[in-house]
Every structure is written in structure tokens, then in C-alpha cells.
Structure 1
Amino acid sequence: MTAARHTANQRLQGLEVLVGEWDMEASIDGQPMGRCTAMFTWHDSRGFLIMRVDPPQAIAPEWRESSPFPIDAAIGLDDHSGAFAMLYADARGVCRIYRMSFENGHWEMRGQAGPGFHQRFEATIRGDGRLVTGRWDASSDGETWKPDFEVTYAKR
């Protein structure tokens, strides 16, 4: 018996630019905090994009204790509302849901990890889609944001 194949959702296929292996670097004010490998692959159904970030090859001492690596995530789409979501889990036992948008070279995620702890990620897909530059911000009220750290993805 052959497994049924899913029909690819065209809006979800817009994430194809992320598929592949990336060198990822996190930094604060230009100071590298960690370098690792991020991999984006389609789930067999092509209904979810899976992200895996391996433990870093290099990590700053001040980040070692709170390191979230490895990180696993699944990106999906609600075709009724057109909203993307990322389900996130990491080595610390942290599990979160981020609302996500991805269009016209702009990638954004937002979530509230608890009372007084809001997060957002804003990134730009550069040039031919082989470079992503972004930043995570934090907020206590969801209105006033301060930079947390920068992230760069360079496709291998």
C-alpha cells in the first residue's frame, strides 16, 4: 500500500528559500556569542518546515550556562487565516509558540513567553536568498522593545 501524498500549499511553499543548511551566528553589539549549524527541511508531507539548530561549534562563556541548543522547531500555516506559526522547543525544556509572517523578503516572529516577557524576531532575506540578517528583541510590555541579540544565517 502506497502512502497518500499531500498537495503542497502554495503559500507554505514560499518558505522554500529557507530550505538547506546554514551557518548561523548570534552576536551582541557585534561580539560573536555563538556559531552553529541550522538546517531547514520539509516534513515528508511538505505541510511543515522543520528547523534544527545543532549545538554550537563555538560559544561565548557568558552564553554557555543558558544555552538553548539544540533547538527544534516546526513551521506551519493556517490556510484559512493565512497565519504562520512556529512551534519551538530547546534543550532547556522551553516550549513556545510564535506567530510568524514571511513575505517580500521579511521574516517576523512574535510571542509572549510569560507575564512581562514578550519576544520578537525581525529578519531580512538578502540578495539571492543566501543571507538572512535579523535580531531578537525583548519587552516587558509588548510595546517598548530592546535588542536582545543579532542573528545571521549564511547558506552553505
Structure 2
Amino acid sequence: MTSTELPQDHVPGDLPDERPAALDRLNVLVGQWEGAATFEAGFLGPGSPEVIGRSRTTFEWLEGRFFLSQHFVNEHPAAPSGLAIIGMSEGAGTFAQHYYDSRGVVRVYQMALEGREWRLWREAPGFWQRYIGTISEDGTTITGAWEASADGRKWRHDFNLAYVKTR
């Protein structure tokens, strides 16, 4: 039995009337990607060399196509693996990414995907973050970088993060 077959007093009040068309913008992410996070020399401790951490990321729609899952596995032991669920945000035309990783970290990011620009950001006391990535014209690569800030005013480069679509 579907929700349209249920008596009206049994239909949840938070059930959307229809799927927002803005979700279709996320289709560019769907598939399997190989990632490379580049950490500058000294990032992992004094005297540490530049490190390139490899990863695999899969984006796929959950049934109903209201939410996009992102599953990522990192090869470098200092980088977490995890899961994120992306859906519409309460803001006009933006998305929310609910992030969970192997360290036990839980975060909520705001996200925008406009044209070829993919942005993620969060404002948390003492640890603000933002990512800006550029999607290639053919949709097979994303190049970008994460930045961090203690106060949301003075930003520092955190690390580069690029993806290449494999399927």
C-alpha cells in the first residue's frame, strides 16, 4: 500500500507533495570517483612531507531520488572514511549534507551546486570550513580545495581535494 492509498488521516504531515526539481542538479555527482587529497608538507606534523591521500567515493540516489548518498573510503590512515546524505535544505535552492565518519565525527554542511561550481560550508564555533570545487565541462573531474577558519573571518588553506569520475 502506498501513501496515496492510505486514508488521509494516516498520511504523515511531512510527506512532500512532489520531488523538488532542484535535486536534479545533483545528477552530475552520481557515479564512482577516485579522489586525491593533497596535504602540504608539514600538515601532518612538523617535518612531514607532502602527502597525497587516495580515496574512492560513490554517489548514488536512495530509492525515491529525494536523497543522494555519498560513501567514501580513504586509503591514508590519517584520513577518515564515511558516509554523507545530501538532500534539500530549508534555504532556497540549497542542500544540506549530513556527514558521518570513521572517527565518530558528525557534521552538517550547507551545500550549493550551481553550474560548474560545487560549494560546501559549515559555521561551527572554533572550526569553520568551506570547500569550493569546479566541475569540468564534461563532468568527469572536480578540482577544489578545503579552507578552515577559527572565526569565519581569517581563512587558511587546509588541503586540495580533486576527483576523477571512473563510472
Same fold (TM over 0.5): yes
Give the residue type in structure 1 aligned to 2:138: D
C-alpha distance 155-3 of structure 1, shift in aligned 2 (>3 A):
farther
Deviations 1:54-93, CA, capped at 9 Å, x for gaps: 232xx2xxxx3x4312x10011113772221100000000
Contact 2:116/2:137 (8 A) holds in 1: no
**More strand by percentage:** 1
Aligned with residue 86 of structure 2, among 61, 75, 91: 75
Q: How does 1:35-74 map to 2 (within 5 A)?
A: 35-56=54-75, 59=76, 64=77, 66-69=78-81, 71-74=82-85
Number of equivalent positions: 146
Counterpart of 1:109 in structure 2 is: 120
- TM superposition score normalised by structure 2: 0.79
* 2:154 aligned to which of 140, 144, 147: 144
Which residue number corresponds to residue 120 of structure 1? 130
Structure 2: runs of 5+ lacking an equivalent: 5-16, 42-49
Cα root mean square deviation, aligned: 2.1
Q: Which runs of 5+ in 1 are unaligned?
A: none
Which portions of structure 1, spanning 4 or more consecutive aligned residues, are displaced by more than 3 angstroms? 1-4, 29-32
